[in-house]
Amino acid sequence: MQVKTYNAGICGIGYYVPERIMTNADLAELVNTSDEWIRTRTGIAQRHIAGEGEAVTDLALQAAKRALADAKVEAEDIDLVVFATLTPDRIIPSAASTLQAALGAKHAAAFDLSAACSGFVYGLSVASAFVQQGIYEHVLVVGGEVLSRFVDWEDRTTCVLFGDGAGAALVGRVPEGEGFLAFDLGSDGSGGDALDIPAGGSRLPVTEQVLAAHQQFIHMDGKAVFRFAVKVLGQTVEDSLKKCGLPPEAIDWLVPHQANQRIIDSAATRLGTPAEKVVINIERYGNMSAASIPVALAEAYEAGKFRRGDVIALAGFGAGLTWGSCIMKWSKEDKS
């Protein structure tokens, strides 16, 4: 028996960032750093920081409402919520279930996805599989983070890098030849210690000693992650392109994870993608982990950059260590 399959793609997209902005100058009052160091090493000028009491599902709710409005789909029609995050409101219940209730998506299943900064691309691949198989018609994929609560504000090597925000995409059926063309996902868990939050899980519960040693915060071997990122970011896009039989020149837009301008430049150079085709917003938001790619994608769409049929490459890397990329043919009409 032949099973009917569908083409899956992004039908609606939206983002939200908290109001408060923290500039590099603000950070220089907290730790021994400078605007010049942060800009030249990373490309970051400022980041948005969640307000007191504002959790990741609060940001995600705004992003999700915008994605639904863009797709012209009601919350009640969502079949599944996939929430990519490393900073959920609580360990249980999942951020996805909390968001599902807040949205009124009462017919939806919900779960969180843990792949750090690669999480949004991983989430799209899950949504794509469900929609292609006809199991679900509408899957909401969210990438959201409130990293400011997991950053050690006394550690200049990490606190200058991160920001808070959320992006959401409604994945559904699209016409043949459009939507997702290929995914490439990967993991090298042997590099897991290069970027972690050591405490708060079952390995190292939070105790007074743990708190005194700041082990509840993000720890990173920046140089190791940098080397890994430069190696995998371009490679994963090449692997995705191969799967759908497209050359690198076919890329109309490259939307990479926004961790470091130098990492993005190196991937773009490897792929031969000119700077004007690379979507970059790191200067204004810093690294928002799972939220970086959907926020960049939604912003570029709202700015009217994409034309229907454009080939867009998404590429992420992060803790795990993980990586993931996606090639898609944009199936929405111009926003402009």
User: Least separation, in Å, of the C-beta of 33 and ligand ACO?
Assistant: 3
Q: Which is nearer to ligand ACO, 72 or 223 (CB)?
A: 223
Q: Which is nearer to ligand ACO, 61 or 116 (CB)?
A: 116
User: Least separation, in Å, of the C-beta of 284 and ligand ACO?
Assistant: 17
Q: Which residue is nearest to ligand ACO (CB)?
A: 318
**Residue of 7, 24, 260, 287 marked catalytic:** 287
- Rounded to 10 deg, the angle between the 261-271 and 35-42 helix axes is 20
**Residue of 117, 138, 159, 260 marked catalytic:** 117
* Residues sharing a CB contact under 8 Å with residue 220, sequence separation 6 or more, in sequence order: 157, 158, 194, 195
Q: Which is nearer to ligand ACO, 155 or 302 (CB)?
A: 155
| Residue 281: active-site member | no
Taking the C-alpha atoms of residue 253 and residue 305, their distance in angstroms, rounded to an integer, is: 9
Look-up of token digits 């999700």: 64
Look-up of token digits 């430049």: 265
- Give yes or no for a contact between 229 and 289, defined as CB atoms under 8 angstroms apart: no
**Residue of 11, 24, 159, 257 marked catalytic:** 257
HEC assignment per residue over 243-309: HHCCCHHHCCEEEECCCCHHHHHHHHHHHCCCHHHECCCHHHHCECHHHHHHHHHHHHHHCCCCCCC
Q: Which is nearer to ligand ACO, 5 or 157 (CB)?
A: 157
Provide the terminal-to-terminal Cα distance of the chain, rounded to the nearest Å. Answer: 44
User: Least separation, in Å, of the C-beta of 115 and ligand ACO?
Assistant: 9
| Residue 159: active-site member | no
| Residue 257: active-site member | yes
Binding site for ligand ACO (CB under 6 A): 33, 37-38, 41-42, 116-117, 156-157, 160, 195, 222-223, 225-226, 229, 259-260, 263, 287, 289, 318-319
Taking the C-alpha atoms of residue 200 and residue 225, their distance in angstroms, rounded to an integer, is: 22
Residues annotated as catalytic are: 117, 257, 287
